A and B are shown apart, each in its own frame.
Chain A
Amino acid sequence: MSHTSLTTTPVDAQGAGGGGALPRGRRFGAETVFRGAATAAGSMVLVIIVAIAIFLIVKAIPSLRADHESFFTYQQWFADSSPAKFGIAAIAFGTVLTSALALLMAVPVALGIALCLTHYAHRRVASVLGFFVDLLAAVPSVVFGLWGRDYFYRPVSDFAKWLHDNFGWIPLFGSNGPYGRSILLGSIVLAIMVLPIVTSLSREVFLQTPTQNEEAALALGATKWEMIRTAVLPYGRPGIIAAVMLGLGRALGETIALALTLGAVYNVSFDLLGPGGNTIAANIALKFGEANPTGRSALIASGLVLFAITLVVNMTARAIVYRRREFTGGAA
């Protein structure tokens, strides 16, 4: 590994110590070794990402050969039986649906908190409140899952019952109980979990709004809200988009909280209230314990799909952030 990375060091930069060129005789001394080690360590990141793709593909192929149904359109998961039949249609759909719902709930609240921390709360209060938001990020996902399953399901099922009684004519809320583990519960828990990420990223973006823009808006007689709408939000738009996409990446990959709060049902359904829902990640955690070699390989295949999706989402988000950074010259 280190060999490949060593060769990629720029040749002209070799031996160029910070304090001018090293003496000729010591070209291959400690400086070269240290630089090589640093380059190798940096390249490790690239190596790992490529290795993830390679090893997942290698281990996924046997099950894809053994699959008697179409991997992309079949909804059920009988990977351990023979003949093996499994497909990611239902779990991929569930992954996208829960993540989308979670973001729908989390993003407005997160933007509100970010604005509160940057433009509304007193500076000292804001630092304390920001600390609480960071604490939210520090709570392990298994704790959120346990809390959602043992405690939070009660208010949510009351809410689900109310939704069904009053808005049952909307197909989304058509299910008539029992209101326990459902897509609604899972996505609310997920929303709470992506909240801190979206908040902290958009807070940084809002802090970067040039003071001149804000003061110009206020000087023209804008109210505080008008100032935010005309100066802060437009300036931060690319950053907000990136923050939302990074939140999406986190939501797509969340495992344990969803394994504990979703109904683990394999179907494509928009019914939010009834027992239902499953995601790629949660399915891996739930099925791994009893999986035989084919089943394990099938789970790796589904993980490969998840990896590809999150990689695309994250790369897009980071590309937006990077372009913006070049544009503004600040550290986004």
Chain B
Amino acid sequence: MSAEVVSHAVGARSSLKTRRLPKWTPAGVAGAAVVIALLAVYLPGAGGPVLTGIAAALIFLIGLTVLSAAVENGRAARNRLATSLVYAAFVLALAPLLSVAYTLLVKGSDRMSLYFLQVSMNNVSAFDNEGGAYHAIIGTLEQAGIATLITVPLGVLGAIYIVEYGRGRLSMLIRFFVDVMTGIPSIVAGLFILAFWVLIVSPYFNNGRPQYSGFAAALALSVLMLPTVVRSTEEMLRLVPGALREGAYALGIPKWRTILRIVLPTAAPGIVTGVMLAVARACGETAPVILVAFGNPAINFNPFSGGQESLSLFVYDQAGAASKYAPGRAWAAALTLVVLVLALTVAAKLLARRNKLGR
């Protein structure tokens, strides 16, 4: 390959310096493309702003490539084409993000009010214009909270096993399946808790009838959070310098105390970041909650008995209701959910930036 490149470069030129397009060419071509697209597509009314944008992008791509092929050479043209495509990919990905954010803000703020956050849907039918998301917020917070309480000790201990104790086959196996477990679909986790907890275990506590509950949802969320927490904790524990451990051992501190008093506190900020990201993920899960918490229009503070709503389930329910008021509630609840999730995510990222162990 390298030989071919070199011969190409030598054969294609007559003078010592190849001809290059001036630096402002891409900007110039872009401007021209926008003008042509406006004249050819937008003004005659052949398409809206989206189609005009696509036309402009295509004109830019073709124009710059042809120009470069004519003035420079084929290799430079391919290079410019690749650069444009790489940036185009980025714009393509940002477009839906911006669109989602814009739609959320516009449609979600219609119904958003203190009232919406303070009332439940008890005795409110889909065709009424009242109702709010209070019961769903309670559900989400309780379920995510219980899931965190279950997952954090289990996940951190599991990571300690992998990093500090694990040797040989079992440790390899566990590491491998932690990674595999991150890919378990949320609906499968929901079905598992449905089959295991709701249909088999819970009847023992509920006179033989299956008990849908917020706790079951928390269990399902734990299944989803566990691998994420183990993985991020594992990475953080590995970053703790070995010298710290050795220093502790040298002072005669047993291994378990070293881990609890030296290693964990050092890694704590990173672990908290990982947990917060996992919680944010879990808050947004809908599928398992549908299956095991079943929903409830009224406020239910007790996660162990009776159906419980969650924000994502509320969004889904309202999205499915055929009423002109339901979409407004769905969007407002979606906005609440996204604000909650984003607050957790951004806080976690900021915390990660202050983490001294670094990445």
Contact = CB atoms under 8 A, between A and B. Distances in A.
Interface of A: 8, 10, 13, 17-20, 22, 30-31, 34-35, 37-46, 48-49, 51-52, 55-56, 58-59, 108-113, 115-116, 120-121, 129, 131-136, 138-147, 149-152, 155, 192, 195, 199, 216-217, 220-226, 228, 230, 246, 249-250, 252-256, 259-260, 281, 284-285, 288-289, 296, 299-300, 303, 306-307, 310-311, 313-315, 317-318, 321-322
B227 interface: yes
B152 to A, nearest CB: 11
A143 to B, nearest CB: 5
Interface in B25-61: 50
B158 to A, nearest CB: 4
Contacts, number: 314
Interface in B162-213: 162, 164-168, 170-171, 173-174, 176-189, 191-192, 194-196, 199-200
A314 B183 contact: yes
Contacts of A52: 184, 188-189, 192, 223
A159 B277 CA distance: 36
A152 B98 CA distance: 12
10 contacts: A42-B170, A52-B189, A113-B90, A138-B345, A142-B316, A146-B315, A220-B2, A224-B83, A255-B186, A285-B286
B249 interface: yes
Contact of B87 (A34, A116, A136): A116
A318 B174 contact: no
Interface residues of B, number: 110
A55 B338 contact: no
Contacts of A307: 184-185, 188
Contacts of B283: 140
A285 B256 contact: no
Given A59-B195, A310-B183, A113 B176 contact: no
B331 interface: yes
Given A20-B249, A221-B5, A307-B184, A150 B327 contact: yes
Contacts of A216: 2
A256 B161 CA distance: 35
Nearest to A223: B79
Contacts of A228: 82
A323 B90 CA distance: 31
A49 B327 contact: no
Nearest to A309: B185
A255 B184 contact: no
B287 A135 contact: no
B92 interface: yes
A42 B85 CA distance: 45
B89 A225 contact: no
Contacts of B158: 38, 41-42, 44-45
A256 B286 contact: yes
B97 interface: yes
Interface in B70-117: 75-76, 78-79, 81-83, 85-90, 92-94, 96-97, 99-100, 103-104, 107
Contacts of A13: 165, 167
Contacts of A111: 89
Contacts of B315: 142-143, 146
Most buried by A among B75, B156, B171, B177: B177
